[in-house]
A = this chain, B = another copy of it.
Amino acid sequence: MRLTIGVDIGGTKIAAGVVDPQGRLLRRTTHATPADDPVALADAVARTVDELGWERPDDEVVAIGVGVAGFVDEDRSTVVVAPNLGLRDEPLKERVQQRVDLPVVIENDANAAAWAEARFGAGRGSDHVVCVTLGTGVGGGLVLNGEVYRGRHGVASEVGHYRVVPYGRRCGCGNHGCWEQYASGRALEAEAQDLAKANPARAERLLKLANNDASAIAGQEVTQAAFEGDEGALACFRVVGAWVGVGLADLAAILDPECFVIGGGVSDAGDVLLEPARHAFQQNVTGRAVRRIAEVRVAELGSEAGIVGAADLSCR
């Protein structure tokens, strides 16, 4: 069987695994990410790959895909910039290839994860999938016409940074009113903290979970309280969910996907988030009277998506 290896380089750890043609993760390992040192990073990736060493009579690892949180050039060789990893114009493909003696390709990690979901996860069977990752911020990955869509310079699918509110909330990207400021995990926290300050009675459960410190309410408290049926927490999810749906409506107008796959920590809330999101999506998408409404699904592969996607893309 032709196997591939996927490597997902995050800010704190390198996760890697052996993946079969059906997208199954056969073996997995992780290492700490060396800080701000491209050579040490390549060494660590190589060591991780060695460690996975897969030898069975009928199997062969044929290629390695490496996902990084950063801009990757169109040849999938160079990391143009990856702020969290301290990389700039880093020839990562070449450096890793020298060490592992196998074909290597570099991918943007969100694209890799989107590919995995589109091929093997919540979007399987569809050629037009928009993945939205609701983590601290909002990221995205596009699978269009059955292919990862990277744009001309590899920086497409920055869906968290299109503007939903003129003169809106300040964003770390230097703009105001970015979708990320309304639909992310940080937005959910801010919503809950504001509620706790403005209306402590309504946020009683949330406050209790955070030891009565409004500014300590984090996403997991909101999710837990919402699962318990707490009305304050549910209200926060309704606000954020509605913004998720409004953004999906805009993306549907432009991209007409068959389905949206929603991942990231906020999506752990499942339908608590997705029901208001779907509702707002359907209420806002243009042409809703005649178009087929795209499905909105929760991602299925979780943190494995980056490994599986990078692996699978390495031999395409």
Contact = CB atoms under 8 A, between A and B. Distances in A.
Interface residues of A, number: 61
Nearest to A126: B152
A168 interface: yes
Q: How many copies does the complex hold?
A: 4
A171 to B, nearest CB: 8
Contacts of A286: 158, 161-162, 173-175, 178
Interface string A117-158: 000000000111000000000001000110101111111111
A253 B198 CA distance: 16
A255 interface: yes
Nearest to A291: B155
Contact of A256 (B145, B153, B176): B153
Contacts of A294: 152
A150 B128 CA distance: 10
Interface in A274-293: 284, 286-292
A282 to B, nearest CB: 11
A198 B169 contact: no
> By CB atoms of chain B within 10 A, which of A80, A257, A287 has the most?
A287
A145 to B, nearest CB: 7
Nearest to A155: B256
B284 A175 contact: yes
Interface of A: 71, 80-81, 126-128, 140, 144-145, 147, 149-159, 161-170, 173-176, 178, 182, 190, 194, 197-199, 246, 249-251, 253-258, 284, 286-292, 294
